[in-house]
Amino acid sequence: MNTSKFIKILRETLGEQCSIKEDKDSYGNHSIWMKLKVKESINVVANSIKSFKGRCIVATAYKNRDGSHTIIYHFDINGTILNVEIKTNDNMFFSITPIIPSANWAEREIREMYGVEPIGHPNTDRLFLDYSIAKGVLNEFIPLSKLQRGVSKTDIMWKKVEEDINNG
């Protein structure tokens, strides 16, 4: 992939609406990190990815402390990984599935697990959870990584660990 051409197109099209960082790992694998300041810009990025014959590998999401959500799309464009981050304060984001069909399952999973709605997504069916379980169920749990670091809302777990250690 001609990453210089791709990045140039995005910078010309989006201007100050994004920040772009390029990186290479120790094996020489190239990746691009893009942070969009305006979530609607994801459609511009998706159209550019489509024109370069890219695909969506997966998307990840998480809930921020302020209640907003961050969504990161991970794309492959001829061996270069493009990671595009958007933030939503209103539990909605614009679906790119109509542009890049390989985003279908990733967007549906975000809807189902985090309760963040992909506006314009062509399929409203669930992937995993029974309809008796509320959308956004993962927002109700503390991630294991946070729990292990002790940054949960309470320190009950760590008090119990200390008690067990002290009582031998």
pLDDT digits (tens, 9 = 90+) for 46-82: 999 999 999 999 999 988 889 999 999 999 998 899 9
- Residue 29 carries which side chain, given as an amino acid letter? N
The residue behind tokens 């921020």 is 64
For the chain, domains (ranges, CATH) are 3-135 (3.30.460.80), 141-168 (no CATH)
Residues 6+ apart with CB under 8 A from 40: 94
Could you read off the pLDDT of 141-165 as tens digits, one per residue? 655 555 555 555 556 655 666 666 5
Q: pLDDT category, 6, cuts 50, 70, 90?
A: confident
pTM of the model as a whole: 0.78
